[in-house]
Amino acid sequence: MAGPFPRAYPKSSYRGRSHQNYDLTHCPTLVTHSDTGLVNPESQAPLARWAFYRRDRRSVGHARAYASAALDEWGLSARRDDVLLCVSELATNALLHGVPPGRGFALGLLLHPDGVLRVEVHDSGEGEVRPPDPAPEGEGGRGLLLVSVLADKWGAGPRNPGKIVWAEFGTGGPRGGR
């Protein structure tokens, strides 16, 4: 039976064992829709898309492609490049600093009725999130600086285990003008 949730298939090398290791490289986990006929738009729930990625360098590209597809589906073109760059930076930071071996990270995209798009990256790593002060000649350390410049708001909060790093973008109106 087809539904909004894809199946996670065990890796063939683990079949028949009591412990199943599922390959969840890209597994969207939540799809919600809002009733646009409501009288009070503030009472509408946000549109939401969630995906889980394992600790793998290819996950950043997969997360960016997933975000791009969601923006296309929602008809959002305003600030598209800013959003996709921030998705890449937050996913990269999760992989480099927040995802312990054997774990992964979740990407959430939430489009609120007032047109605000919120990007969330959840990881299970410890540590404080703050923009670093990169050396001028250094090649790294500018990801959160880019996020702080491109996003209207950004921040981090606790989760058990780990943390949530988020960025918000105004998209030009309710549901991106749809």
DSSP 97: I
Of 78, 44, 48, the C-alpha closest to 170 is 78
Full pLDDT tens readout for the chain, 178 residues: 444 434 343 344 334 433 333 333 444 444 344 444 544 555 677 899 999 999 998 999 999 999 999 999 999 998 999 999 999 999 999 998 888 888 999 999 999 999 999 999 999 988 777 766 666 676 666 788 899 999 999 999 999 999 999 999 998 754 544 4
Full-model pTM = 0.72
Q: Give the contacts of 3 (CB within 8 A, at least 6 positions apart).
A: none
Write the burial class of residue 107 (CB in 10 Å: 0-12 exposed, 13-18 middle, 19+ buried): buried
Q: Is residue 34 part of a domain?
A: no
Q: Is residue 78 part of a domain?
A: yes
Q: Is residue 19 part of a domain?
A: no
CATH at residue 96: 3.30.565.10
Q: Is residue 116 part of a domain?
A: yes
Of 170, 177, 152, 151, the C-alpha closest to 87 is 151
Query: What does the block give as tokens for 155?
Result: 């921040």
Structural domain of residue 83, as residue ranges?
47-130+141-177
The total of structural domains in the chain comes to 1
Q: Is residue 164 part of a domain?
A: yes
Query: What does the block give as tokens for 177?
Result: 């003008």
Q: Is residue 9 part of a domain?
A: no
Q: Is residue 40 part of a domain?
A: no
Q: Is residue 68 part of a domain?
A: yes
